Homo-oligomer: A and B are copies of this chain.
Amino acid sequence: MNQATIKYANLDEALHSVAAGGYEAIGLWREPVQEVGLAESARRLRDSGLRFTTLCRGGFFTMPEGPERRAAIDDNRRAIEETATLAAAGAPGSTAVYVLVAGGLPEGSRDVVDARARVADALAELAPEAQAAGVTLAIEPLHPMFASDRCVVTTLKQALDLAEPFAPEVVGVTVDTFHIWWDPEVLPQIARAGASGRIATYQVCDWKTPLPANVLNSRHYPGDGVIDFATLTAAVEATGYAGDVEVEIFNDDIWNAPYDEVVARTAETFGAAVGPHLALPVRTA
């Protein structure tokens, strides 16, 4: 379970709800961790008995050189350390994966090629620190409807091209069905990601239209939309990926529902739509 699916839960609520729901692993977000503090978060994570999968999220480093860029790079450095600490605190099998969203076009810029070059620069700067900390940077291509304001990296191919100069355990990619299902190249690029050992995390949620007024929160439970999870998941598994599969849903209705209900429904829909063989036994309420 990715914590963003129960966005309004604080760290304790998220850990308890997810563990009680029968899950074995959780992906955390920086804000609720910072609210409690890193050391205390690590303690509570350890107490939960859950594996740690990913820390979401950083990046946002498309701006030109200057104080704003330096602040962004420094913030990413801190997130690398947070990821290492949390992965060490999680149950055995935890993965030290830090999810990166590149950022959109800088204010006033129309130069998407330059913005992408700034992403490559940031990776080159952060990769040695990630390597030293034993953390994998997971570049996440976002759906092209976010290309201008959130992420100039729009395809798995592009994310893999950005990752290529680095060792796969240092820079990988986030494979998220919501963002890439539409891509005619998605299956060969999943194969390429797997062959180069760069699938750092596999995340699922569904796509459905019409989109809500805030397109950021247009994600759905697996099976409630049109994504062919069987085909995409089989492609990921065919590469040998055997890591956790995260469900990350941004949706106002789901965010406003009781956490335990969302946790249970996520497990049910995941089992039914993504794959019963991947689902954990879930305790009935």
Contacts and interface: CB of A to CB of B under 8 A. Distances in A.
Nearest to A179: B144
A7 interface: no
Question: Interface on chain A toward B: helix, strand, loop, or mixed SS?
Answer: loop
Interface of A: 105, 109-113, 116, 143-145, 147-149, 152, 154-155, 157-158, 161, 181-184, 207-211, 213-215, 225-228, 231
B183 A144 contact: yes
Contact of A147 (B149, B182, B210): B182
A215 B145 contact: yes
Nearest to A211: B215
A187 to B, nearest CB: 9
Contact of A228 (B110, B152, B154): B110
A154 B215 contact: no
A109 B226 CA distance: 7
A103 to B, nearest CB: 13
Contacts of A209: 148-149
A144 B211 CA distance: 13
A155 B210 CA distance: 21
Given A144-B144, A154-B183, A157-B184, 5 more contacts: A111-B228, A113-B231, A148-B207, A149-B209, A211-B215
A152 B207 CA distance: 14
A143 B183 CA distance: 11
A144 B207 CA distance: 11
27 contacts: A105-B226, A110-B227, A111-B228, A112-B181, A112-B182, A113-B231, A116-B184, A143-B145, A144-B145, A144-B182, A145-B215, A147-B181, A147-B182, A148-B207, A148-B209, A148-B226, A149-B209, A149-B210, A152-B182, A154-B182, A154-B183, A154-B184, A158-B184, A161-B184, A211-B215, A213-B213, A215-B215
Contacts of A213: 213
A182 B155 CA distance: 10
A66 to B, nearest CB: 20
A104 B223 CA distance: 18
A12 to B, nearest CB: 34
Nearest to A110: B228
Nearest to A216: B210
Contacts of A161: 184
Across the A-B interface, the 8 shortest Cβ-Cβ residue pairs? A147-B182, A110-B228, A144-B182, A145-B145, A213-B213, A149-B209, A158-B184, A148-B226
